[in-house]
Amino acid sequence: MLATAYANDAGTVDHTTGFAPKRSPDADGLELRGIAGPTRTFEAKEHVFREGDAVTHVYQVEAGHVCIYKMLSDGRRQVIDFAYPGDFIGLGAMHEHGCNAQATSRARIRLMPVVTLRQVMRDDALLGMKLYEAISRELLAARELLMTVSQRTAMERVASFLVALSRRNARRGEDPREFVLPMTRNDIADFLGLTIETVSRTFTKLRAEGLIDLAQSVLVTIVDPASLEEFAEGRTH
């Protein structure tokens, strides 16, 4: 039985990459460490997999950040998700990957062969349930993003993006008020269905209205969380 292997013993530094360990990953404590195969380190901009690749593994980010995106033939890009340490990537792909996964910064990633995954899902109902829940969360997130991109204004999109990052940090036991953006304006723009100019202007406006502060372009401080959430929910006309 593999059911005892979920023990969250994250606490040691990976000396091969020098990453600081993260305390509580998003995936409700489920870790492939001890269950699955080895890790691999991907450099910034390196792809973990690409759309159309045969599915060979399921991946779990252990350190760094990964950008999941889809492309249109003419270059238009849609960022689907930013994977943080603890997050799974590559779940739900059946035969070939339906999107691309690219490290935004150096990332350490654990690999689990899909054959192992299938076998484990047969043998271990609890793990199967965990993966079902992980993919369910991805579905929820995709639909929430759809709502954001399709229905909200630029202001509301950026606000809800920041609120989501803040909540994610809170869940991970990090500071929900001040954090570093692990992605570029371009990534944010392609995530929210805006241009980088609009994203930049909107950040500026949020700062001008005193809802956030930007000491550097990547360092966000949420000054007025309540008002930011109002904006995010569209309750501020």
**Residue 217 interacts with DNA (CB under 7 A): yes or no:** yes
Give the span between the Cα atoms of 227 and 190, in whole angstroms: 25
Question: In the 8-state DSSP scheme, what is residue 21?
Answer: P
Subset of 163-202 contacting a second copy (CB under 8 A): 193
Query: CB 201 → DNA: shortest distance, Å?
Result: 5
Candidates 20-28, 67-75, 181-189, 224-232 — which segment interacts with DNA by CB under 7 A? 181-189
Structure tokens at 74: 């003419």
User: What single letter denotes the amino acid at residue 231?
Assistant: F
Nearer to a second copy, 72 or 215 (CB): 72
Name the 3-class secondary structure at 14: strand
**Residue 149 interacts with DNA (CB under 7 A): yes or no:** no
Which of 145, 206, 222, 228 touches a second copy (CB under 8 A)? 145
**Residue 151 interacts with DNA (CB under 7 A): yes or no:** no
Dihedral-angle region of residue 175 (phi above 0 means left; psi in -120 to 50 means alpha; beta otherwise): beta
User: What single letter denotes the amino acid at residue 150?
Assistant: S
203 binds, among DNA, a second copy, none (CB under 5 to 8 A by kind): DNA
Strand residue runs (E) in the chain: 39-42, 47-49, 57-63, 66-71, 77-83, 88-89, 100-103, 107-113, 178-180, 212-216, 219-222
Which of 89, 131, 194, 206 touches DNA (CB under 7 A)? 194
The string over 160-182, giving b where at least 16 C-beta atoms fall within 10 Å of a residue's C-beta and e elsewhere, is bbbbbbbebbeebeeebebbebb
> Would you tell me which residues interact with DNA (CB under 7 A)?
153-155, 184-186, 193-201, 203-204, 214, 216-218
> Would you tell me which residues interact with a second copy (CB under 8 A)?
70, 72-74, 76-78, 80, 91-94, 98-99, 118, 121-122, 125, 128-129, 131-133, 135-136, 138-140, 142-143, 145-147, 149-152, 193, 233-235
